[in-house]
Amino acid sequence: MQHPDYAAQLQKLEIALQGVTRVTDKFGNVDSASSLGNYQLGIKAAADVTRDFNVPLDVSTKGITRLAAAVIGAGGNIGDAEVVFRNITSAIKATGGGSGKTLIPQ
């Protein structure tokens, strides 16, 4: 069972990821299907990094959210962010980083 504070923190992080992965057209209309797909890819990326590299879920969710914001802001997409996030997390682990080490400083 998760601690209520941890669950609330994860929920806040997921809301932030949802905002970062929202897709809009040039008129500001939200593309719900694309937004949901991007969000699901982001959640999966965080869960995969947690599973594969033993990174806490809140840390991986925060990391993919921050990286996705930067990558999408620069014209990339959530898939690009996922690849970079996995590779950098893998490199951190390979060079002796612990489970608390992340791509983005806390």
Task: Tell whether 69 is covered by a domain.
Answer: yes
Task: Tell whether 8 is covered by a domain.
Answer: no
Domain that holds residue 67: 32-96
Say what the pLDDT of residue 98 is. 63
Say what the pLDDT of residue 102 is. 54
**59-82: average pLDDT:** 96
Structure pTM? 0.84
**DSSP, residue by residue, the chain:** ---HHHHHHHHHHHHHHHHHT--B-TTS-B-HHHHHHHHHHHHHHHHHHHHHH---HHHHHHHHHHHHHHHHHTT--HHHHHHHHHHHHHHHHHTT--TT--SS--
How far apart CA 42 and CA 9 sit, in angstroms, is 17
CA angle centred on 105, ends 83 and 103, rounded to 5°? 15
Task: Tell whether 65 is covered by a domain.
Answer: yes
CB 52 within 8 A of CB 69: no
How high is the mean pLDDT of the chain? 90
Domains held by the chain: number: 1
Task: Tell whether 47 is covered by a domain.
Answer: yes
Q: How many CB atoms lie within 10 A of CB 82?
A: 21
Is a pLDDT exceeding 70 seen at residue 103? no
Task: Tell whether 63 is covered by a domain.
Answer: yes
Backbone angles phi, psi at 24, to 5 degrees: -130, 155
